[in-house]
Structure 1
């Protein structure tokens, strides 16, 4: 089965390269550092134990940051962090610089992975969340390196997908040394796919262990003062939207404007998930007749500004702190949602659509605490934003409930570190 998978992948390589070249017409970063995708990396001679940590993109990297900072405190350990996406790679470099080694993750081809491991010489592989590749785990296992899956989650939908290739999934999971899993339901799904039960360790979600620095709090307050200098304007932040969601949000804004909540009273900050959509969303905002400024222009919105387009990367935590109400994208489209924990740590009242399978347990906790309200369409979104806009006590109550959920679920980081330390 793995041989068949590899053959299919090899046959797809020309198509993958053609796609990268096509995308490079607009952004040359798609073909830069292409050698890394085939395992051609250079690494300095080992002076310490070397841990290979894979975080596929920005979200996984940010979720792993508390863990990374803790591991970097060890004098006997150095980290190599790989990522798959351009934005993930840039975030690693901008955040950590030369504190870590960094490379793109090689394609899941035996020769590429084997070359990468031989050159890097890691002592163990740690994979953030559920970025599982059969050849990668097989090569690492063949070279007798431990591999640990951390902050692992497996939705019912994903489990069904893996279940269609039951033998391949079971063989792949057999190479894992351990899996630090968020919830028991996730652990049950992993073991049903073939993970040895003794390797399935329920440790919780390390994203709850995020901490706000004094510097970040100060910066967010400065931004809040810029957005709301009069003290009479509230900020509604819509984070990480996908195709089709921006239209629904702008429909909601139109309804709020029709109900007398003007731009001087409510400012929408709209942040698309992917940078390639920034211009398209900007055009959509203008086509709907709304005035807009771009965050990247560093221009303060005036009292007549309807929308701030969040067209920068890496600022969501800052934007959460400067907002009053947060709607999480990826919950109206078939995406499964994004990280509610970050705005919860800021004690913000939360809204989201009904599509929550990627954060099912976190959503459940927030809903039960009355911190998260499900709003499935433009009318429901507008109604809930209007309610929170008009009721200061309701905003505070929901925000404090969200913060309490975050605080009550901390501790996964220490448990996860303990699992990793068994293998390094």
Structure 2
């Protein structure tokens, strides 16, 4: 099976390598990105981890990387002498990872070819591996097992969409799952599902969701004012932030924005596409609807404040919480179309009212709890989105109440980091 898998991946590399080269050129990381994915490192890249016990955490992209931050902080506190290595698949996830202070080294995740994985392990020499959410890489897990390196899946989640596919492939998935050392799952349903996929039941624990352990506090009025000045937002103007949006949603958001402006709302929109490389196409779409957009990366050179009817385009990485901080209302994307949603708790962390669409299957439990607590609002489409945004923007008391309830939900459900660390401590030792 693994020989066939290697063969398929090798053939796929004929497409993947040019793809990563093109993406690397776009993001200015062509040489290092592709070399690291093939297991080649310059001598200076790994110098900082030599002679240390290496704990390798893998988080595929932005969402998983942000979810891992509480655990990374906990690992740094529990194992101050260890070297923490964080790997990512995507450039956007890698950019977020580079800003995490607890990390000693950020790497691109290697292609899952057996010879590449062995080359990487010889150089990185991990003593312990943590995989965030449900990332099942057959050769990576198999080589770790051969070298007696414990591999723990944390913040594990099996979505409604992926579970039937995993069940169909149970004969292939089960031998891989048996090589994991432990599974830390978000909910009892996730635990049941991964057991039905073939994971040994004695290795499964329900440790809850790390996203509830995000740390931070709402900025005071002075900090909000400073950020508004930095973003060129006029004082007294209502700010609607639409974060992590996708194609098909931005058109709906633009139409809603125009409708609210026509109704006389003194409103500015900050639009943050999930993938920054799409900003140019989104700007062209906005222009076609008569809306002028300005890139966040060039806001300092604007020389004036934005006025209602204009759009600030979030084309930078790592500033989502800053955008949310200046918001009067937040919409979280990936939810008006069938993507599965994105993390709504980042808005709740800053006590902001949050609205999202009907497609939240990647955050099913979180969105349910947020609705039940009154900390969020779900809409079915553009018409309901316009009604919800209008209703909340004209009612400051309702916005404050919703933000407070969402923030309280975080405190009530915290504790996943401590539970996950208990499992890791039992395997890794003091």
Q: Judge same fold: TM > 0.5, yes or no.
A: yes
Match of 2:268 in 1: 267
Match of 1:107 in 2: 111
> Is 1:157 equivalent to 2:161 in the alignment?
yes
Q: Quick check: 272-281 or 44-53, which moved more?
A: 44-53
Does structure 1 conserve the Cα–Cα contact (< 8 Å) formed by 2:336 and 2:358?
yes
Match of 2:286 in 1: 285
Match of 1:2 in 2: 2
Does structure 2 conserve the Cα–Cα contact (< 8 Å) formed by 1:224 and 1:323?
no
Counterparts in 2 of 1:147 and 1:280: CA distance versus 1, 3 Å: same
CA distance in 1, matches of 2:131, 2:390: 42
SS at match of 2:57: strand
> Is 1:341 equivalent to 2:342 in the alignment?
no
> Is 1:84 equivalent to 2:85 in the alignment?
no
Does structure 1 conserve the Cα–Cα contact (< 8 Å) formed by 2:132 and 2:154?
yes
Query: Cα distance, 1:304 vs. partner?
Result: 3.9
Match of 2:404 in 1: 400
Counterparts in 2 of 1:204 and 1:216: CA distance versus 1, 3 Å: farther
Match of 1:37 in 2: 37
Query: Cα distance, 1:291 vs. partner?
Result: 2.7
| Structure 2 residue ranges without an equivalent (≥5) | none
Query: Cα distance, 1:77 vs. partner?
Result: 1.3
Match of 1:63 in 2: 67
Query: Cα distance, 1:22 vs. partner?
Result: 4.3
| Structure 1 residue ranges without an equivalent (≥5) | none
Match of 2:370 in 1: 366
CA distance in 2, matches of 1:216, 1:123: 43
CA distance in 1, matches of 2:142, 2:285: 46
CA distance in 2, matches of 1:285, 1:246: 9
Counterparts in 2 of 1:314 and 1:218: CA distance versus 1, 3 Å: farther
CA distance in 2, matches of 1:328, 1:214: 18
Match of 1:75 in 2: 80
Counterparts in 2 of 1:369 and 1:214: CA distance versus 1, 3 Å: closer
CA distance in 1, matches of 2:357, 2:31: 36
Counterparts in 2 of 1:32 and 1:92: CA distance versus 1, 3 Å: same
Query: Cα distance, 1:358 vs. partner?
Result: 0.5
> What RMSD over aligned residues (CA atoms) do the two structures have, in Å?
2.1
Does structure 1 conserve the Cα–Cα contact (< 8 Å) formed by 2:178 and 2:200?
yes
TM-score after normalising by structure 2: 0.92
| Deviation digits for residues 31-71 of structure 1 (CA, Å, limit 9, x no counterpart) | 54322112223533643321011111222222211221222
Match of 2:11 in 1: 11
Which of the residues 409, 413, 419 maps onto 2:417? 413
Counterparts in 2 of 1:9 and 1:130: CA distance versus 1, 3 Å: same
| Deviation digits for residues 103-136 of structure 1 (CA, Å, limit 9, x no counterpart) | 1110111111111111111111101111211111
CA distance in 2, matches of 1:359, 1:215: 26
> Is 1:175 equivalent to 2:179 in the alignment?
yes
TM-score after normalising by structure 1: 0.93
Counterparts in 2 of 1:368 and 1:151: CA distance versus 1, 3 Å: same
Does structure 2 conserve the Cα–Cα contact (< 8 Å) formed by 1:206 and 1:412?
yes
Query: Cα distance, 1:26 vs. partner?
Result: 4.4
CA distance in 2, matches of 1:240, 1:17: 27
Query: Cα distance, 1:27 vs. partner?
Result: 4.7
Does structure 2 conserve the Cα–Cα contact (< 8 Å) formed by 1:220 and 1:319?
no
SS at match of 2:258: helix
